[in-house]
Structure 1
């Protein structure tokens, strides 16, 4: 069984496992803190309503057996506690079989949340976390060396993430081919970060260099992951560096950090230190057999992702089964040129007139007040803020949840208000709520010096006319 383990990537496995556990922790904490308003029993898209429509075979989840807000909260916090233990090294302090069971439990617990998450959990990084977490079950612990087959499966996953993103760009918006997409992207991305204004204000030739470097990182470096060392290690480190650049320039939940973790798993420490790794412990047969079986399973299930990569109608961030095991990835095939934002306001006045004073609700992450510098939240995921960006692109994205969201603002629902940065009606609910659509752009250097504003905004039209609360018994 000498072929089964790859001692030179022991450090890559260690770093990968710790990072994955931390990202699981972030995901479970985000679920625990946000679910009541989004999909709790009185949420905008309640889980009980969804479960009545979705059979177990299409959305396997423990919540088919039982759902209550208290049970969901306990489930999420238990997942966070287990993830924290794994991040602290618990899996290396127990026998191999127990460690595998711990990783499997983390995967199953998060799968149960994703499969009832509806639109709030429709992002590609949910599937990426689940697929990565499934492979982690078969990575072993200190009782055995890193299994070479699973380490290669992690590279194969990293390849699909990066190469899929590269292909969908080259097949998509023309600005990726003429190297101009980053003239707009830093300004129009879903949730800018504190440095996004500065990235946007870089000279245009540097934006073209950024775009070209992105193509190299997503179309060339992934192929080099499968070449001999040390080329594969340098390719992996190059991917990690480009992902950290994305971390600095925006907020993409845990997508970039998980991609960094996958890249570091491919780093061969012996090429970096010049010291060969010590021989790994021989794996037990009961561990080797399922690991080989899982490798064969992933190879078989890779048919549809590969076909998607080769297709001219490439799909973005697609899962082909309800377990999210072997998926397709890719994002930003098109780049919006103009940023639109929905601004939500309320008033104490029972009737809206031209003289009505409206007060604005502030969100935690999405742009609102023009003098507020965007903040860094990633790897934490602000789900409502992200969906607000999609709603500004098209009302169709908000059909299932925007009306219930406004209803809860009209009730001063405490769970919903906890998702916001500022509630302008702390003492009593507003009488009316409205939503207006604005065009936002980053200010220039001169505008920033003169006004202190990071954004300039222009009203476009109403998104929702003034709306008052409807008694629940009449709905």
Structure 2
């Protein structure tokens, strides 16, 4: 169905719904609280959401972010302080943790947010101060890198907007607000409720084929973040029930949000429908504070009298309407994006567009971006996909032969993992290890930060999985508390690795016979066995020259890298000195880069079939600390040469991309791989890159970064082979196909090449078969009985 036809059908459903609800207006409007009570409940409700957020995070903040945590925020802030001195660090990374970053301060900040939520429920002047305290605590903890889920973005936005609503009365005086809000603020709040759900509808249904995707929920109940027992059972429901639920979901997510634009009965009906949807999702999944939070945002729709009109919007205040007009305008722009691009789209390289004149607007959005005041929403793909999920599993060993798993508390990772219901608690580790292999990821192991994140420090040579592995090798008690148990209670293992598991629900019969809930089998090894390496903590935060190449704006924000980019007129004899600069890199280390590393990487350069062997040979020859130093030196050479490449040369090469300079960066890698003389020749005449670009292939482009970051290359290669096999419908264009057709920068630029080649490491995959009914059958697990794993009558 064409997009225009879908829109027309949706408009018809909206119109019919509005007309029917007006027919029953008296009954429906009686179901809504008064406007004063509505806004009092909203303020207290956001206080309740803050309590849920901070209470859930309280036991996780030190294991994840403390000095002995997986991502020590103190080390991160120390590097930021060095790279962005003075007020810059406050502007780019606003947090009160600049005043103190100890574990005690982290816990105090989190508990201050919790106390703020309690004060908000009490109301009065203490209620407003409590909401402000909670929002301040949330903003301060944002730099930990743990608040990037869609429900986190919702709380950031709602937690800021609620500060403009009237304060709630003290509890002893009633549940209502002290007075009605300024109309433009009330409308902005209702717009948040509307566009959040429409964001999900846009992502989920704009590219959906309703006739083929009406069994979407059969797979979704399995590959959602953390399915509970009810979701597991619903996956096995008769197909007619799944189709009916899908139709109801479309109606609520696509049609009912538009009812919010109408006053009276339609808005009341829409609000109750959206709240009931949240209740249903709450019962069938574990989505942190999302369901409770969004339901409470929707309570604001019960103000049925306020109308969407120009005169209403600009009444009641002279200061707030212009402010809310900017909010609405940027909100509409955000509607073009989704959760994955929420924090990154302002940093796209918009300036390359000919005639681009919105520098002021983009500058304003970038200025506000760290505060997450306005967000984009929408997560899930629209296709009905095979019921397979993946999980990253940490395993320890003392002999390198027998491996023991560190079991998760909630994440399904083995046959006996019982689906659990623990919402609204947000188990951040269990949620996090699901995402990396399933889609565009913020797991530190993706090479597409241009699309998914704005934080330049995320592109670390020692990503989240590496750091978690190191903490487990250290036997760190706080980090071990995130797992269900410690299988190495006597002493930490000698080795640790990370593997990916494929997980598929068993049939009813198999579950009753064995007690197993899942078929689970190893797909591949993602991080090869590692030994204890305390030096990791000295290098996990990247130096600014090692930011992802597509973070062009951050290179120019940092004084050190900005200086490198501006040195375009230096003589070639000074290049090595420029590389050293003030970086504490010695002349001997620069010489070693050319003499030792480039010489070692040169043989078989561009041979894709041997890249894993060559990468492991370099890893055996050079320590990870030395490889990190070589990467830093190479990054500085790249920045220097890029400073001499004009926009005309980039356009002639054909590498001008909205998302940045990934391929240009790799093209300079190829120059460096041929030695210092080749580099100096390109330095003298950057136009030689044009000829090189016409002759080069992806294998050569990826060669040096693959050797330096072999784990990253393996991860991306294996992930996309998994996705094209099990997260892609053969009967239609899907995410992977669209990513190949539209160069989205980063590793996406390489997908066409990657998917033509076999995986570069061992990868086992189950077989997914699409039936005429639209249902999927997944087979191939070692413990799986032969034949269809689902009952035949259900599939027909």
- Structure 2, unpaired ranges of 5+: 1-31, 170-176, 306-315, 344-364, 446-462, 537-622, 626-796
Contact 2:472 2:479 (8 Å CA) reproduced: yes
* Aligned counterpart, 2:217: 182
Q: Where do residues 80-91 of structure 1 align in structure 2 (5 Å cutoff)? A: 80-87=114-121, 89=122, 91=123
Task: State the Cα deviation string for residues 380-431 of structure 1 (Å, max 9, x = none).
Answer: 1111111101223378834321111011111110110111111111221122
Q: Where do residues 69-88 of structure 1 align in structure 2 (5 Å cutoff)? A: 69-87=103-121
Task: State the Cα deviation string for residues 146-183 of structure 1 (Å, max 9, x = none).
Answer: 31523322211001101111111123455797323212
Is 2:447 the counterpart of 1:397?
no
Looking at structure 2, the residues matched to 139 and 7 of structure 1 have their Cα atoms a distance apart, in angstroms, of: 17
Q: For residues 74 and 314 of structure 1, do their structure 2 counterparts lie closer, same or farther at Cα, with a shift above 3 Å needed?
A: closer
Deviation at 1:245, TM superposition (A): 0.9
* Aligned counterpart, 2:473: 410
Is 2:128 the counterpart of 1:100?
yes
Question: Structure 2 residue aligned with 1:435, among 494, 498, 511?
Answer: 498
* Aligned counterpart, 1:275: none
Which stretch has the larger CA shift, 159-168 or 426-435? 426-435
* Aligned counterpart, 2:34: 8
Is 2:256 the counterpart of 1:229?
no
Is 2:379 the counterpart of 1:342?
no
Q: Where do residues 189-200 of structure 1 align in structure 2 (5 Å cutoff)? A: 189-200=224-235
* Aligned counterpart, 1:279: none
Contact 2:92 2:370 (8 Å CA) reproduced: yes
Question: Structure 1 residue aligned with 2:377, among 329, 338, 341?
Answer: 329
Tell me the SS of whatever aligns to 1:197.
helix
* Aligned counterpart, 1:352: 400
Is 2:530 the counterpart of 1:467?
yes
Structure-2-length-normalised TM-score: 0.52
Deviation at 1:238, TM superposition (A): 0.4
Q: For residues 195 and 246 of structure 1, do their structure 2 counterparts lie closer, same or farther at Cα, with a shift above 3 Å needed?
A: same
Which stretch has the larger CA shift, 166-175 or 224-233? 166-175
* Aligned counterpart, 1:283: none
Looking at structure 1, the residues matched to 66 and 493 of structure 2 have their Cα atoms a distance apart, in angstroms, of: 23
- Structure 1, unpaired ranges of 5+: 1-5, 271-287
Looking at structure 1, the residues matched to 429 and 208 of structure 2 have their Cα atoms a distance apart, in angstroms, of: 27
Deviation at 1:117, TM superposition (A): 2.3
Contact 2:135 2:160 (8 Å CA) reproduced: yes
Q: For residues 241 and 305 of structure 1, do their structure 2 counterparts lie closer, same or farther at Cα, with a shift above 3 Å needed?
A: same
Between structure 1 and structure 2, the one with the greater Rg is 2
Q: Where do residues 354-393 of structure 1 align in structure 2 (5 Å cutoff)? A: 356=402, 358-393=403-438
The number of residues matched between the two structures is: 436
Q: CA RMSD in A?
A: 2.6
Question: Structure 2 residue aligned with 1:318, among 320, 326, 342?
Answer: 342
Structure-1-length-normalised TM-score: 0.84
* Aligned counterpart, 2:744: none
Contact 1:412 1:429 (8 Å CA) reproduced: yes
Tell me the SS of whatever aligns to 2:522.
strand
Looking at structure 2, the residues matched to 13 and 187 of structure 1 have their Cα atoms a distance apart, in angstroms, of: 37
Looking at structure 2, the residues matched to 175 and 198 of structure 1 have their Cα atoms a distance apart, in angstroms, of: 23
Which stretch has the larger CA shift, 15-24 or 438-447? 15-24
Looking at structure 2, the residues matched to 174 and 342 of structure 1 have their Cα atoms a distance apart, in angstroms, of: 31
Is 2:322 the counterpart of 1:296?
yes
Question: Structure 2 residue aligned with 1:67, among 86, 92, 101?
Answer: 101
Return the structure number with greater relative CO, CA threshold 8 A, min gap 6.
1
* Aligned counterpart, 2:144: 117
Q: For residues 102 and 168 of structure 1, do their structure 2 counterparts lie closer, same or farther at Cα, with a shift above 3 Å needed?
A: same
Is 2:70 the counterpart of 1:35?
no
Question: Structure 1 residue aligned with 2:178, among 132, 144, 147?
Answer: 144
Is 2:491 the counterpart of 1:454?
no
Deviation at 1:43, TM superposition (A): 2.4
Contact 1:8 1:268 (8 Å CA) reproduced: yes
Tell me the SS of whatever aligns to 1:389.
coil
